[in-house]
Amino acid sequence: MLVAYAACALAAVRLRAGGPGFVGVALFAAAYALWALTGADAKSLEWFGGLMAAGLPVYAFMRWRGGAATSPARAAAAAAPRG
């Protein structure tokens, strides 16, 4: 889970979501996750890899079915009333 946590925190920094205060919190979260990852044992990383791999077919199915928006803009456009 730490790898996913670090990736999400770094993505938030990259997207600059939520303003400058949020970016600082996201940087701290990423630093913490990377620090904690250095203490993780191999068994934890194996579980992470296995669970992420198990989720890939679900993700692929959702993308194929059209149930997952690729961006917030597309999700907003899909939710907007037509008329």
Tens of pLDDT, residue by residue over 22-74, are 888 888 888 888 888 888 788 877 887 888 889 889 888 888 887 655 566 66
Q: What is the pLDDT of residue 74?
A: 65
**CA 83 to CA 39: how far, in whole Å?**
55
Both tokens of 2, joined, read 């730490």
Alpha helices in the chain (DSSP H): 2-15, 20-38, 42-65, 72-79
